[in-house]
Amino acid sequence: MWLKIKTRLMFATCALLATSGVAFADDDKLQVSMLLAGQIDDKGFMEAGYNGLIAIRDQLGAEIDYIDGVAPKPDLLADALRELAAKGPDMVIAHGGQNNAAAETVAAEFPDVKFVVVQGGVTGPNLSSYEVLQEESAWLAGAMAGLMTETGVVGHISGIRVTPGLKGRAGFYDGLMHTNPEAKFLTIFAGDQDDNELSHRVASEEIEQGADIIFTMLNAGRTGAIDAMRENGVKQIGNVRDWYPDHPDVFVASAIANVSIAGLQAAKDFKDGTWKPGVIVKIGLEDPNAAALAMSPDVPDDVRSRIDELRQKIISDEIEVSVEYDGPELHP
């Protein structure tokens, strides 16, 4: 089995329990295309998606195709999906929840092509979503920030307001309040995932308001935030992958959400004949390769023990991670 966990499924309807069909024969060549609404070398979310596509090629022997660098606007995303689907692949993977609306539209136009949205929340007769629950690792990050902050002020920075990012912010806040309900929380969706000048400015604003730990959910724009925090001696919590080896002076932890796993799992399910339309496949802390909190060596042992205890409680459903946040935000 690829996943050594109990993968959770949310079924759109009971009628969609049937699989997509029989498994591929050995001599069949799987064809998978991917849309990446960003830069494949952003060292973050989009690069992880691209790595998943390369794994689909290398591990499943698939022929692959992709389009990247598309602005996250529904009409542009839909046009790119149409371009990929028109070539007749077995599966088109739209990487990122910003593709939800476009995928619903285009999947209906190409009923013979299977569509998947990574970190999505949409379904259809030939459409499913695969989601790594980054809100669970973000919750642990928030809990750790609550235990580690010395100023009592903790920040959050992201770019565009897509559902996974909103859920990640909510999870982080929920974890922070669990361990430090008196902490002050600063948060902003600045409007761009890749603008380093912007991320430097908003990080500096949060630092000026007292934040000594800031959780960043950015892509290529992370460098600006790193620079601002290094200039001010403030610690950052990263996301998607472990950032500590790259910048050990800045990162105290990373809320890992290995979204490369989602696309690979979808393609593997299709090749095995177990892929289902009309479902949302959710992968959480049960699989430490998919979701986890990586902590720097400087994190005290008592904090590590507490985080491990909280992780087990999330897995066992003793703690429910909130994906709703209704507090105030900063302005860009």
DSSP 184-213: EEEEEE-S-SS-HHHHHHHHHHHHHTT-SE
- pLDDT tens digits, 102-137: 999 999 999 999 999 999 999 999 999 999 999 999
**Bridge partner list, 114:** 91
Residue given tokens 């999870």 in the structure block: 171
Q: What is the pLDDT of residue 315?
A: 97
Q: Enumerate residues 6+ apart whose C-beta is below 8 A from 275.
A: 19, 20, 91, 114, 128, 266, 269
Weakly modelled stretches of the chain, pLDDT under 70? 1-27, 332
Residue 27, pLDDT score: 56
Which domains does the chain show, CATH number per domain? 19-119+259-275 (3.40.50.2300), 134-257+291-315 (3.40.50.2300)
Residue type, 238: G
Residue 136 CA to residue 170 CA, distance in Å, equals 10
Would the CA dihedral through 31, 66, 46, 171 be positive or negative? negative
Task: Express the helix, strand and coil content of the chain in percent, nearest 5 each.
Answer: 40, 20, 40
Contact present, 148 and 252 (Cβ < 8 Å): yes
**Structure confidence at residue 227 (pLDDT):** 98
Q: Are 38 and 46 in contact (CB under 8 A)?
A: yes
* Crossing angle (nearest 10°) for helices 260-272 and 45-60: 30
Tell me phi and psi for residue 188, to 5 degrees. Answer: -155, 140
Query: What's the rounded Cα separation, in Å, for the pair 41 and 62?
Result: 22
Answer for the pair 5, 286: CB distance below 8 angstroms, yes or no: yes
Give me the pLDDT at residue 226, please. Answer: 98
Q: Which pLDDT value is given to residue 23?
A: 52
Q: Helix (H, G, I), strand (E, B), or coil: what is residue 232?
A: helix
Q: For residue 35, what pLDDT is reported?
A: 97
Q: Is the pTM of this model over 0.75?
A: yes
Report, in angstroms and rounded to the nearest whole number, the Rg of the chain calculated over CA atoms. Answer: 20
The residue among 185, 175, 124 whose CA lies nearest residue 152 is: 185
Q: How many CA atoms lie within 13 A of 3 on its CB side?
A: 23
